[in-house]
Amino acid sequence: MKLKTIGNSTIKTPPIMFGGNVFGWTLEEKESFRMLDMLLERGFTFIDTADSYGRETGLSEKIIGKWMKDRKVRQEITLATKAGNVHTKQADGSIKRSRDNSPAYLEKCINNSLKRLQTDYVDLFYTHFDDEVTPIKAVLETYQKFIKAGKTRIIGASNFSESRLKEALKLAENSDLPNYEIFQTEYNLMERKEFESGLADLCKKHNVSTATYFSLASGFLTGKYRKKEDFEGTARQMLTEKYFNSKGKEVLKTLDQIAEEYSVSQAGVALAWILNRPNVTTCIASATKEKHLDAFDEALKLQLSTDEMELLNKASQY
């Protein structure tokens, strides 16, 4: 599998990273271990997680950490985690969501993440969400301490506005503070506008790699959900129902057409489209069954023609 270099670092990634949000959410520990085993066997060795993934804080990290220790494979895995997306359980059992990138909170987070992951370092540590309050300089100074202490090799930004990302990149460029080497953003056939309207060019200008999440639009682009009854009552209902419109139907129709032509899955075509888009370094995708991983292999092998890319671009235009 051909690897890609992240930003100006020495860290490399497969074209597809695995999204660890399924560990401790839709996959229990035993199932998660089996999925991780299969990923390692297939060469998808970059695992992307976060302290907020799982049914409880840090559950995804705990499962990954336990698996790496059990299999003795930490050195074979490239690992990313995130902080700043705060989930606080209320007295009534509900979850209050907020953001916190204060230096004290970030330090608490990385130490807790390393403990759960049972490792001395992560390869990549993300600001999960910009809280738009903490000065960017304070955040980068905190990350500089983490890098010097060997707690992370590089840093990344996720879900930043163009203006705040630009501010961070310029600050790093004009100082000795660390630079965000990778930017993680939502991007797929149903969600193109935000990334393509400025963020993509900004990343290109500063040689910042990009990783797309929700690459299959929370499962919509697999073709599994054709009518609202298909997802009602599922964990993905809130994430997919917004795509049931004329654009969504046209995108699925085009995916069906190309998938049939090549005898591959719709998911394979949707991922191949992302991997062939300009300014995309890698895409993040998840799976809950072994057969879902076949779409990863399909995407890597599929050579979409210029005409086919244009058909998908037209169907998904905004």
pLDDT in tens, 37-96: 999 999 999 999 999 999 999 999 999 999 999 999 999 999 999 999 998 888 888 888
Residues in Cβ contact with 91 at an 8 Å cutoff, skipping those fewer than 6 apart:
none
Q: Domains plus CATH for the chain?
A: 4-186 (3.20.20.100)
pTM: 0.94
pLDDT in tens, 188-225: 999 999 999 999 999 999 999 999 999 999 889 998 87
Range list of β-strands (E), 261-304: 282-285
Catalytic entry in 53, 126, 143, 225: 53
Residue 213 known to be catalytic:
no
Q: What is the greatest pairwise CA distance in the chain?
A: 55
